[in-house]
Amino acid sequence: MPRIFKQLGEGYGSSAVSITAQIDGNTVYSGTVPTIDAPPPGVKPGVQLGVDCFSWSEPVANFSGSRSFTVSVSGGGSFQLNMTLAQSNVANLDAYGLVYTHTVGNVVYADPLTNVMIDGVSYPPPTDPSLNGQWGWNIPSGGVLTATLNINTTMGNVPV
């Protein structure tokens, strides 16, 4: 049974935003995303922003590891990349949860993206304990986000 993942996010601007998302160089989504005619909201810790933009699957239910992750944006103003979730319960196919956590000191961080760069500029994740959810990455039109997507084996059982 495969492990199914979904990516949340939203486009912002006065015209439709399109993205191309690749994992390990393979295109998992290419097309328009829901777009709001407003400026991006910025980071709101603890708030789940965005809607389902695309999904993909890995061949085994207990998949874990690291993958290269790229999102290219065109049209509109920008794309806000938000939470990555995994199917958390095969008995309830609508249940999704976090895919990755790591601990620094006694603070648990939930952002699965590391080595994040937007247009070649490094964006390290915050280390402020009040910002311990998944970071929102705002990618401008014409921009490219590259990162490492990290996935724990058992994180799919942690609901959001």
Give 113-117 contacts, CB < 8 A, sequence gap 24+. Answer: 113/69, 113/84, 113/137, 113/147, 113/148, 113/149, 113/150, 114/147, 114/148, 114/150, 115/146, 115/147, 115/148, 116/145, 116/146, 116/147, 117/145, 117/146, 117/147
Q: What is the pLDDT of residue 159?
A: 41
CB 98 within 8 A of CB 88: no
pLDDT tens by residue, 62-113: 778 889 999 999 999 999 988 787 776 555 556 666 677 766 677 666 778 8
pTM (2 d.p.): 0.83
pLDDT tens by residue, 24-61: 999 999 999 999 999 887 665 555 667 888 888 888 76
